[in-house]
Amino acid sequence: MATYQEFIQQNEDRDGVRFSWNLWPSSRLEATRLVVPVSCLFTPLKERLDLPPVQYEPVLCGRATCRAVLNPLCQVDFRAKIWACNFCFQRNPFPPTYAGISDVNQPAELMPQFSTIEYIVQRGPPTPLIFLYVVDICLEEEDLQALKESLQMSLSLLPPNALVGLITFGRMVQVHELSCEGIAKSYVFRGTKDLSAKQIQEMLGLIKPTVAGPQGHPVAPQDAHTSCRFLQPVQKVDMNLTDLLGELQRDPWPVAQGKRPLRSTGIALSIAVGLLEGTFPNTGARVMLFTGGPPTQGPGMVVGDELKTPIRSWHDIQKDNARHLKKATKYYEALANRAAVNGHCIDIYACSLDQTGLLEMKCCSNLTGGHIVMGDSFNTSLFKQTFQRVFSKDFNNEFRMAFGATMEVKTSRELKVSGAIGPCVSLNSKGPCVSENEMGIGGTSQWKICGMNPSTTLALYFEVVNQHNAPIPQGGRGAIQFVTQYQHSNTQRRIRVTTIARNWADAQSQIQHIEASFDQEASAVLMARLGVFRAESEEGPDVLRWLDRQLIRLFMFHLRRSPFLQVFNNSPDESSYYRHHFIRQDLTQSLIMVQPILYSYSFYGPPEPVLLDSSSILADRILLMDTFFQLVIYHGETIAQWRKAGYQDMPEYENFKQLLHAPLDDAQEILQTRFPMPRYIDTEHGGSQARFLLSKVNPSQTHNNLYAWGQESGAPILTDDVSLQVFMDHLKKLAVSSAA
Amino acid sequence: MNVNQQPHIATPYGQPPLQGYQVYGQPGYGGPHATPYGPYNGHNAAYQQDAPPQPPGYPPYSSFPSKTFAAGLSSDLSSSSSFGLGPGRVPPSSGTPPVSAPGYDQYPQGEVQNGPALIASQPPRPPASQAYAQVPVTLPATQPLYHQQYQAPPTSTQQVTNQMAGMQIGTAPSQAGPYAPPTSSHLPSSTAFPTPGNPSYTSQAVPPSQPPPNVGVQQGPHPPTYGGPPHVPQQPFPGSALPPVSQQSFPTAPTPSTQASLGAPPLPQPYGGGPPVSAHSQFPGSLPPHQAAVSQPSPYRSAPPPTGFTPSGGAPAPARPTPGMHGPPFPPQSVSAPPGPQPNHIGAPPMQLGVPAGPPTGPLPQQNGAFGQMRGPQPGYGAPYPGQPNFGSQPQAPAPAPPAQKRLDPNSIPSPIQVIEDDKASKSGEVFMTGVRGQAPPLVTTPFQVKDQGNASPHFIRCTAYNMPCTSDMAKQSQVPLAAIIKPLATLPENEGPLPIVDHGESGPIRCNRCKAYMCPYMQFIEGGRRFQCAFCSCVTEVPPHYFQHLDHTGKRVDCYERPELSLGSYEFLATVEYCKNNQLPQPPAFIFLIDVSYNAVRSGMVAVVCEELRTLLDTLPSEPGTDCPIRVGFVTYNKVLHFYNVKSSLAQPQMLVVSDVADMFVPLLDGFLVTVGESRTVINSLLQQIPEMFADTRETETVFGPVIQAGLEALKAADCAGRLFIFHSTLPIAEAPGKLKNREDKKLVGTDKEKSLFQPQVSFYGNLAKECVAQGCCVDLFLFPNQYVDVTTLGAVPCSTGGSVYKYAHFQAQTDRDRFLNDLRRDVKKQMGFDAIMRVRTSTGIRATDFFGSFYMSNTTDVELAGLDCDKTITVEFRHDDKLCEDTGALLQCAVLYTSCRGQRRLRIHNLAVNCCSQLAELYRHCETDALVNFFAKYAYRSVLSSPTKTVRDSLVNQCAQILACYRKNCASPSSAGQLILPECMKLLPVYLNCVLKSEVLQPGGDASLDDRAYLRQLVSCMDVAESHAFFYPRLLPLHKLDVEGRALPTAVRDSEERLSRDGLYLLENGLSLFLWVGVAAPPDLLRSVFDVSAFSEINPNMTSLPTLDNPFSKRLHEIIEMFREQRSRYMKLMVVKQEDRLEPLFKHFLVEDKSSNGGASYVDFLCHMHKEIRQLLS
């Protein structure tokens, strides 16, 4: 297996691909028997330090329905200067520029190590990145102040030529004009009235029947950028904008006792989308929504402004008692789709102790590849650092973000693509390689991902369509090509092409090989995505039942317990938030989300991973749990007492001090790299925050069986949930009974 | 002819009186005419000469004049009417006499004497015009006759004047007879005459040309007036004047009865004069008028012929009582006349008959106004012209009228100037004590002081009738509208204000339990002061303990003179919280300035001017003495979208908030929009400085309007206060938005049944918006700067319903119109105002306020709701009977206005007025105020155009006035010939004013008045007070060249007729909206130099809008006068210099309301004749 492990690792490192099966069953029938479909996790923009982009256009297959990119798997006749497409077998002549190729002079795309290659192409004038801040001003003074500072700080992080815009909202929505001097100008919209994109653009004076620009600003037709007074280069307006942000006041409209502030989030987003739609379609743009509470008026309203009406809970939703849910969801979906069509992505930064309506708004980010960050307050390092991390740069000193990507999947004839799950929308591109069976977002071979970063990972599901009676010749390989076009953060248009191939295997004769090629981790995540995808669109219990049916042979205990499928104890917003991240993170992170990692620190040795089980909770240990969203440091009872007693400050107990520091340092490491920054929790035995840990561990010891296990170690968990032991028992029983 | 003469005369004589005299003096005509006309002059001379001798004889004349006065009074004019010819003459006589008895001296002499004398003499000499000259003497005699006739009328000089009849009469009969024939022939009466007369008067044949003389005859009389110069010689008559004086006394003597008697005496005198002569004179006179300038000489000659005619006329006259007058001379003519005349006679005969009757009219005396139209008209009107028919009641209808007009001597018809001057003479300087119930106050043109003794000052309330009929039957019969013109917040002269404020404590003002009338001097305390009985509904209410006071032996409360509410007619109560919206004390109001910044507004300079002005103007927002200005201000600019400004004091720079969603207006900010000037001064200044710059390059031409008002309204709602919106707007709002308008200016609709739609708002949007505004107390003032049609009707809908004002500056250019606009703006902003006001008028049981006119909104039938009420806004209230009134208690009105003062204090202003009640119509007619009537009629008519075609409105207006006058004639005037026009003394100006209303641009489309102008004026008039409407309809025309630089007095105004303008004169005309300085082509260089600093007429720049400030007394005084005029009016009057015969003159002539107007409005004379016809129709 080691070879497979290496193979898998190598593939992941080079191509950003993890397949559930690394040998593919050669017929449809066999494939369906495998339960876990042929599928993969693909990270299109995986960071490759060793991959310098080439500065020319890819060579495409000449068949109109194929258009596959020349790749190392193609057969090449160097003499005839002809290459054969490995997907459609079309023979294509090389373009004139390739006249000089030969066996010894091959272009990069033909070399096996360049199964993933990136092209830089020239497509029209470079378009600057656009950052449009949409800021809620119905915040507490403290929050608003913190947010203002973050925003001001962010200006310095933006590329100097990026265009920036500002929309603020509360009861009204204000679109600020940034180019003016003297009087600060803004366009105001009432927060209750939905407007079409055209209306918005008219009202903003962006389109006019006459040649004259609004307010006499001449419109230079060839350069739409200058015509838009609302989006201006950072370098030009950063002083203005800094002042403007500095002068932002809380929404002045009075909020009566017992009312929520009126928040026109829906309209604000609609205006942001409309503004970009009219001015910069198909240009990389980020709408960054900062909100501190639920939308309370107008379209997209999530809850009324009466405080006595609480915001919907899962309970309400299940009882069909959430009045605004469907309408709001539909509204935001429509918005998200519009944004997606134009290649704009929407981030949501929601900081509030209560829910902010992420459930309804999540699609804005999910469909456009935007971020969702949820926090308690803008005045927390969680938000501040996370936000800062949005603008982090890679080793090339370029932003880790890409815009307006389209990813196309091409398959060899025996395979068809069933669908994708990730922060993408379908481009509805029908083609020969599109399966009729949909899994996730299907029915297309192209998807649009408006916002990406190097870790954005899609799950792609395939269907083997080769019939059982048409065997594939021995040694046949199936191939898949991913063509991802995107706008790089430096405004270049780039195309990254990844071509992979796997051997076909006859399930009957080579079943053990196939089994050996199984990638448990990838499969777990891939199935989890499917589960989450279904959970999003179907009723909770049904999904669990489906999962149980599907995964009867899989280790999915923690997934069942995860917040991605369980909504108990989570608000709808939290669930949305967790799910959002689950469907876009790469495999490692996804695994952490499914099964949190638990490290134990003690005097008895180096830190070791321990079972995520209540039995791991011991008095003389420090535990570090990473659930992706939370980092919990838990001090066992004794450790906590020692710490309280202050032993760590005594020179003679230096070792204790080091022990205490060890998990902190490790946590720090995680904190510094992860996006979004996890909630950091430092707690101890009996502490209220210990619940974060207790809720995750396998309740092997509960009040029901505390004495049955009879061991000294561990801490009992007061829960009725079944423990892994019980789960496994059931599973075994079921496996046996259904094995027939 | 007349023109020249007139001016002269006019000036010299109290024109009016003169006229009157003239009328009578048809003879006088001769005289005056004489002067004007060469021949006449001759005559005049003769007359004059005669005069001297005549003096004795004249005395009679003089007496005549006096008589005329008398006539006027008694309406004897009727007798004058007998003059028939005289439609001109007679009336004049009547008119004149009354007018200025004083003036009479001269005038009478000139005119009357001349006229009559001439005539008299003439008759004998009929053939020779020259003879006329000689005749004078005899004329006098004839005149006397007239006079006698007149005299009767004279009794009440004024009445006399009124008695146009006299004019008609005089001319008509005497001349008519003669003329008639000619008239039939047409004005050319001369021709006519010639024909008829020719036989007899061959020489007259020559006169044919003279026929005009006929006209002239009438005119003749005018000439006299005009013939000032000639008169001068006559002045000797002054002696005669004396008689007039006596007459004056007559006038004073209640015109009616006394007059009669008076008239009688004078008449005799006139007789002495030799009536026939007068007749003759008239003829000559008449001739001149028409022909006047043309062939004066000939006229003269013709005059003779006319005289000849006159004789003929006289003939008929003789036949009648008048005989004396025309009789002799005319006989032959009459003979001749028959042929031509017949037609005339048709009309004329009656007239003449009337004329004779005229004398009888003398008896009628009571009615001052009787005009001998019958005769006059017939002769003058009908007779001369085929038009006679017009005069002739039946025949009249046709064209005749116009011709007739020409013949009627304007001097002989009631003169507004004379009436005004008389009132001034008798009442100015006096203190008007309001304590006496039912007394009519001095005219609005008379400066007077008021002492409040329990009734509201006329500054606050004026009534159409101060003696109301007791029953609705009477009211219906008389058709006199019973209305009060109320200006609740009028600014009082400094020595009369301010009103005391009464605080009745926490329980609020004391009111009647049933009708809720407020405590006032009419409340009767009973039971030792423990209760009071309401004077309005008779309900008895307990006196609250804290208000108890003992009564004295007369039943009055002991403290009644210490308490304003028990002793004054006007006072204020402090309102309690129950009187406030939502039972919360109001916030101080807010002012919001909304400025159009579209292309046109910027280019005209309006934006810059407004912004610059606001920077200083904001320091002068109204406040109450001793308090800081609590008013908050806000700013909005707009074109297709609205820009709100955040001018919070903490900001370094103002912030602009653009609202493009005009379809669904809202206020984008709360905090920082409305600020106090003091706190945000810097930010505001910065804003006002930047606005013009920001939009300097705008190319946006489209605007919205509805959303602008909505924005202001929403802002006030958000701030929970009342306030004012000042909107500065330039174009028709065609941008897509609520309240969007389209250009519907369609000249083709004008004059059709659909015309009314043009006065109705184009869309209902603004009506609903106005309703909302009123509910919030949002008063909208609109300043328009249109370059083309903007649909003032629709745009003005909201201002008109919210108590706001509309100002319009067509083709505004910053350089030229800046002063006018800024002064209006300043005044408007600084005005003391009440906000969120409700007015309720309570009345005695028996009458009830049924109709209201003005700028307000009514959601029910009793409460007048005003979002804002300023010191210039007037509400006219009409009352109708719903029961009987009692003569003892009279009729009481209590007008209560609940409003919020500019510092946010809630108050009630109470005005009380008691008027008398009568069971005799004569009483009613004796206590009416014509100016107020006209105010009412104008508002009524201007509102009617919303629902009826203008023609219908005009007709019904004429009809109602005819009914009023006919009712008087029928029930109050002494019996007289039907041909006589008899007017009540206090309504004798009704026809002239009514005519002004009828021919105003609103009611008489045509000319160059745009639809917007008409709509603008219509809205403007609807809230005018009596003084404003008076000046508006009858502009003040001052002969500046007669200005006494040293004295404080203004020169006596002249009548609004081109004939009164002298080519070498300088006139200032004002109507409350504009000022015109008219310069005659022959104005003396000295005058020009001292006014314009130029040496020649041609060097005057006709485009100047202000006069150079020169260091000479005349210029200084002129500036003073102009300033004074401007201060008197609520709107700044832009000065326009009009050079005679220059391009602006047609515009100026539009304001000469006694003349025929370019849009088809009748001249005063024509209209008078028409009225007379109408009245006759009603009487027959």
Residues of A in contact with B686 (CB under 8 A): 182
Contact call for B700 and A189, based on CB within 8 A:
no
Q: Identify the band that residue B161 occupies on the pLDDT scale cut at 50, 70 and 90.
A: very low
Question: What is the structure's pLDDT at B594?
Answer: 95
Q: What is the pLDDT of residues A576-587, one digit of tens each?
A: 898 899 888 888
Contact call for A185 and B672, based on CB within 8 A:
no
CATH superfamily of A600-732: Severin (3.40.20.10)
Question: What is the structure's pLDDT at A540?
Answer: 60
Handedness of CA A46, A52, A57, A59 (dihedral sign): negative
- Tell me which residue in B660, B672, B698 faces A187 most closely, judged by beta carbons: B660
In contact, B643 and B657? CB cutoff 8 Å: yes
Collapsing DSSP to helix, strand or coil, A458 comes out as strand
Question: What is the structure's pLDDT at A180?
Answer: 67
Chain A closest-CA separation from residue B609 CA (Å): 20
Contact call for B666 and A190, based on CB within 8 A:
yes
As given in the structure block, the two tokens for residue B1174 are 């109408």
Cβ neighbours, 10 Å, residue B305: 46
Q: What is the pLDDT of residues B669-714, one digit of tens each?
A: 888 899 998 889 999 999 999 999 999 988 889 999 999 999 999 9
- Tell me which residue in B664, B690, B698 faces A215 most closely, judged by beta carbons: B698
State which amino acid sits at residue B809: Y
CA distances from A525 to A442, A529, A678, B513 (A): 19, 6, 20, 87
Lowest-confidence region among A52-56, A218-222, A289-293, B496-500:
A218-222
Residues of A in contact with B694 (CB under 8 A): 182-183, 215
In contact, A373 and A350? CB cutoff 8 Å: yes
Contact call for B656 and A252, based on CB within 8 A:
no
Q: If interface means Cβ-Cβ distance under 8 Å, which residues of chain A face chain B?
A: 172, 174, 177, 180, 182-190, 193, 195, 202-205, 210, 212, 214-216, 247, 249, 252-254
Contact call for B658 and A184, based on CB within 8 A:
no
Interacting residues of B290 by C-beta distance below 8 A, sequence separation 6+: B1, B187, B212, B213, B214, B215, B216, B219, B406, B407
- Tell me which residue in A172, A183, A190 faces B654 most closely, judged by beta carbons: A183
- The domain ranges of chain A are 4-123+402-518, 130-204+228-304+337-390, 521-590, 600-732
Question: What is the structure's pLDDT at A735?
Answer: 65
Q: Is the pLDDT of residue A131 over 50?
A: yes
- Tell me which residue in A180, A184, A212 faces B699 most closely, judged by beta carbons: A212
Residues of B in contact with A180 (CB under 8 A): 656
Question: What is the structure's pLDDT at B587?
Answer: 87
Lowest-confidence region among A442-456, B200-214, B417-431, B598-612:
B200-214
Same fold, A4-123+402-518 and A521-590: no
Q: Identify the band that residue B146 occupies on the pLDDT scale cut at 50, 70 and 90.
A: very low
Chain B closest-CA separation from residue A237 CA (Å): 17
CA B174 – CA B217 distance, rounded (Å): 10
Residues of A in contact with B660 (CB under 8 A): 187, 189, 202-205
Mean of the pLDDT values across residues B82-90? Answer: 35
As given in the structure block, the two tokens for residue A460 are 């792609």
Question: What is the structure's pLDDT at A395?
Answer: 82
Q: Identify the band that residue B83 occupies on the pLDDT scale cut at 50, 70 and 90.
A: very low
CA B1007 – CA B991 distance, rounded (Å): 23
Q: Is the pLDDT of residue A144 over 90?
A: yes
Question: What is the structure's pLDDT at A444?
Answer: 93
Contact call for A183 and B660, based on CB within 8 A:
no
Mean of the pLDDT values across residues A5-15? Answer: 88
Contact call for A215 and B695, based on CB within 8 A:
yes
Chain A closest-CA separation from residue B687 CA (Å): 8
Q: Where are the beta strands (DSSP E) in B632-686?
A: 632-638, 642-646, 655-659, 675-676
Q: What is the pLDDT of residues B1037-1093, one digit of tens each?
A: 999 888 887 877 888 899 998 888 888 889 999 998 889 999 999 888 888 888 898
Higher pLDDT, B369 or A541: A541
Percent of chain A with pLDDT over 90: 31
Q: Is the pLDDT of residue B633 over 70?
A: yes
Residues of A in contact with B669 (CB under 8 A): 172, 188, 252
Question: What is the structure's pLDDT at A267?
Answer: 93
User: Which helix (H) or strand (E) covers residue B391, if one does?
Assistant: helix B388-391
Is ipTM strictly over 0.95?
Answer: no
Percent of chain A with pLDDT over 70: 92
Residues of A in contact with B653 (CB under 8 A): 182-184
Contact call for A184 and B700, based on CB within 8 A:
no
Burial tier of A359 (Cβ tally within 10 Å: 0-12, 13-18, 19+): buried
Chain A closest-CA separation from residue B607 CA (Å): 15
Question: What is the structure's pLDDT at B308?
Answer: 32
Q: Is the pLDDT of residue B937 over 70?
A: yes
Residues of A in contact with B658 (CB under 8 A): 177, 185-188
Mean of the pLDDT values across residues B280-297? Answer: 37
Q: Which residue of B has its CA nearest to A213?
A: B699
Cα dihedral B685, B691, B696, B702 in deg (nearest 10) = -160
State which amino acid sits at residue A183: I
Q: Where are the beta strands (DSSP E) in A125-171?
A: 130-136, 163-169
As given in the structure block, the two tokens for residue A705 are 């069986």
Nearest to B85, CA basis, from B385, B408, B327 = B408
Q: Kindly provide the b/e burial profile for residues A491-522, where b requires at least 16 CB atoms within 10 angstroms of the residue's own CB.
A: bbbbbbbbbbbbbbbbbeebbeebeebbbebb
Q: What is the pLDDT of residues B88-111, one digit of tens each?
A: 333 333 333 333 333 333 333 333
Q: Is the pLDDT of residue A563 over 90?
A: no
User: Which helix (H) or strand (E) covers residue A526, if one does?
Assistant: helix A520-537
CA B856 – CA A272 distance, rounded (Å): 45
Lowest-confidence region among A90-104, A228-242, A276-290, B249-263:
B249-263
In contact, B420 and B98? CB cutoff 8 Å: no
Chain B closest-CA separation from residue A232 CA (Å): 18
Q: If interface means Cβ-Cβ distance under 8 Å, which residues of chain B face chain A?
A: 641, 643-645, 651, 653-661, 664, 666, 668-672, 686-687, 690, 694-695, 697-700
Question: What is the structure's pLDDT at A550?
Answer: 65
Chain A closest-CA separation from residue B1144 CA (Å): 39
CA B267 – CA B75 distance, rounded (Å): 13
A521-590 is a CATH 1.10.1050.10 domain: no
Phi then psi dihedrals of residue B35, to 5 deg: -55, -60
Mean of the pLDDT values across residues A330-340? Answer: 93
DSSP string, B920-943: SHHHHHHTB-HHHHHHHHHHHHHH
Contact call for B661 and A182, based on CB within 8 A:
no
Q: Angle at CA B4, nearest 5°, toward B3 and B9?
A: 95
Q: Where are the beta strands (DSSP E) in B33-147?
A: none
Lowest-confidence region among A204-213, A425-434, B717-726:
A204-213
Q: Is the pLDDT of residue A219 over 60?
A: no
- In a mutational test of the B interface, the residue from A169, A200, A215 whose CB has the highest number of chain B CBs within 10 Å is A215
- Tell me which residue in B653, B656, B698 faces A216 most closely, judged by beta carbons: B698
Collapsing DSSP to helix, strand or coil, B77 comes out as helix
Nearest to B286, CA basis, from B351, B357, B222, B196 = B222
As given in the structure block, the two tokens for residue A413 are 């004839």
Question: Mean pLDDT score of chain B, rounded to an integer?
Answer: 71
Q: What is the pLDDT of residues B834-844, one digit of tens each?
A: 999 999 999 99
- Tell me which residue in A174, A177, A203 faces B661 most closely, judged by beta carbons: A203
Q: Is the pLDDT of residue A167 over 90?
A: yes
A130-204+228-304+337-390 maps to which CATH number? 3.40.50.410
Chain B closest-CA separation from residue A231 CA (Å): 17
CA B1135 – CA A572 distance, rounded (Å): 76
Contact call for B672 and A214, based on CB within 8 A:
no
A4-123+402-518 is a CATH 3.20.20.100 domain: no
Question: What is the structure's pLDDT at A707?
Answer: 52
CA A20 – CA A677 distance, rounded (Å): 29
Q: Is the pLDDT of residue B212 over 50?
A: no
Q: Kindly provide the b/e burial profile for residues A224-262, where b requires at least 16 CB atoms within 10 angstroms of the residue's own CB.
A: bbbbbbbbbbbeebbebbbebbeebbbbbbebeeeebbb
Q: Is the pLDDT of residue B977 over 80?
A: no
- Binning chain A into helix, strand and coil, the percentages to the nearest 5 are 35, 25, 40
Chain B closest-CA separation from residue A522 CA (Å): 52
Q: How distant is the alpha carbon of residue A705 from its chain centre?
A: 40
Q: What is the pLDDT of residues A653-683, one digit of tens each?
A: 888 888 888 999 999 988 888 888 888 888 8
Interface contacts A/B by beta carbons within 8 Å: 80
CA A176 – CA A183 distance, rounded (Å): 11
- CA-atom Rg of chain B in angstroms: 31
Mean of the pLDDT values across residues B723-737? Answer: 93
Show the DSSP H helices in B1034-1153 as ranges: 1085-1092, 1113-1128, 1145-1149
Collapsing DSSP to helix, strand or coil, A47 comes out as coil
Residues of A in contact with B698 (CB under 8 A): 215-216
Q: Which residue of A has its CA nearest to B639?
A: A215
> Helix B255-263 crosses helix B142-151 at what angle (to 10 degrees)?
160
Q: What is the pLDDT of residues B765-821, one digit of tens each?
A: 999 999 999 999 999 999 999 999 999 999 999 999 999 999 999 899 888 889 899
Q: Which residue of A has its CA nearest to B691?
A: A183
Q: What is the pLDDT of residues B1104-1124, one digit of tens each?
A: 888 888 888 889 899 999 999
Question: What is the structure's pLDDT at B489?
Answer: 92
Q: Identify the band that residue B748 occupies on the pLDDT scale cut at 50, 70 and 90.
A: confident
Contact call for B694 and A212, based on CB within 8 A:
no
Q: What is the distance between the terminal CA atoms of chain B, rounded to a whole angstrom? A: 37
Chain B closest-CA separation from residue A186 CA (Å): 5
Q: Residue B323 gets which letter from DSSP?
A: G
Cβ neighbours, 10 Å, residue B868: 32
Residues of B in contact with A215 (CB under 8 A): 694-695, 697-698, 700
Q: Identify the band that residue A217 occupies on the pLDDT scale cut at 50, 70 and 90.
A: very low
Q: Which residue of A has its CA nearest to B683?
A: A183
CA A485 – CA A499 distance, rounded (Å): 14
Q: Angle at CA B927, nearest 5°, toward B922 and B928?
A: 105
Residues of B in contact with A184 (CB under 8 A): 653-656
